[in-house]
Amino acid sequence: MATKTKRYNIRIAGVGGQGVVTSAHILGNAMSAAGKYASLVPFFGSEKRMAPVEAYVRASDEPIYEVGEVVYPNVIMIYHPQVITHGKSYTMPFYSGLKENGIVIINTDVDVLTDEDKKVLDDLNTQIVMYNATGLAMDIAGTELATNMAMLGFFFGITKLVSFEHIEQAVRERFLGNTFVASGGTASLDSAIEKKFKRKVELLEKNMQVIKKSFKIVEEQGWTEEKEPVNA
């Protein structure tokens, strides 16, 4: 019998404007930078501000074959409390499909889970993390746009899938180097990026500080995954 693979099937839910898809790309690229495996399903549709947005990432030490949205996740990341409180989610309740021994990370400043929710999650032996990631982003980077970085920091801090350097490489690639999709608009975008390069470097720096801080919080709070690696 084969050994269990460390494998995370992640569903990220947030609202338009939070950089849900961007952080999914960074997550995938960080895995790739570490020589590990990741696959992501970009979300396509009308992406409007404050409308529900979901992204799906699979991350593993081993090659990943599976494609498509993650219907049965073992990690759920909620970037905005309204996903839960206003039902801004493609799947209701937000934890539908969640597997046993999973992780749920929620960005919120208040407890948004009902007793009923908590019972279901407890029955599944879920590790629940609730933290004001937006507040953290504001404090460190001075912008709520870095919320996604805090969330990424929590995820990697908990799972220890890749090192800080790999995350930095992925974030840098995302902000400074565009290798994802070549199309007609790329050329003009590049020159615009060049003009704003200085600002981008500053932004990158701030983002990395947010991630560093969130790593620290994970340590302080004792969230680090000490159990058996979860199995997807």
Partner 1 sequence: MPEQKVVDIDYLLKEAPRERHFITGAQAMAEAVKRANVDMAIAYPITPQSEVMHLVGDLYAQGYLKDYYRAEEEYGTMSAIAGASRAGVRVFTATSGPGLLRGIEAIASWPGHRIPAVLGVLTRVVNAPLSIQPDNIELAYLLHSGVVLLHAENQQDVFDMTLAAFAISEMVDVYIPVAVATEGFFVTHAKGYVEMTPEDMKLPPRDPYKAPVPVTDCEVPPARIQRDAPVQKSNFMSYLIHAVWQQEVWSSTQRAMKYIYKYLNGPIEVVNPDADVFVVASGCAAAQGREAVRYAQEEGLNVGLVKIKSIRPFPAQEVREALKNAKGVVIPEHNIEGWLSKEVKAAIPNSGIVVDGPRVYGGMTLPVELIMEEIYKILGIKQEKKVVI
User: Pick from 52, 59, 92: which is nearest to 162 by CA?
Assistant: 59
CB closer to partner 1 out of 4 and 195: 4
CB closer to partner 1 out of 70 and 162: 70
Dist CA 33 CA 27 (whole Å) = 10
Asked whether the CA dihedral 130, 135, 141, 147 is positive or negative, the reply is positive
Phi, then psi, of 57 in degrees rounded to 5: -135, 140
CB closer to partner 1 out of 186 and 221: 186
DSSP assignments along 120-182, one per residue: HHHHTT-EEEEE-HHHHHHHHHSSGGGHHHHHHHHHHHHH--S-HHHHHHHHHHHHH---S--
Contact region with partner 1 (CB under 8 A), list: 92-100, 132-140, 153-161, 190-198: 92-100
Q: Which string of x and - marks every residue 166-205 that binds partner 1 (by CB under 8 A)? A: --------------xxxxx---------------------
Contact region with partner 1 (CB under 8 A), list: 12-20, 78-86, 90-98, 141-149: 90-98
Structure tokens at 65: 């074959």
CB closer to partner 1 out of 180 and 197: 180
Residues in contact with partner 1 by the rule CB under 8 A: 1-2, 4-5, 28, 32, 39-42, 44, 62, 64-72, 93, 95-100, 120, 124, 180-184, 231
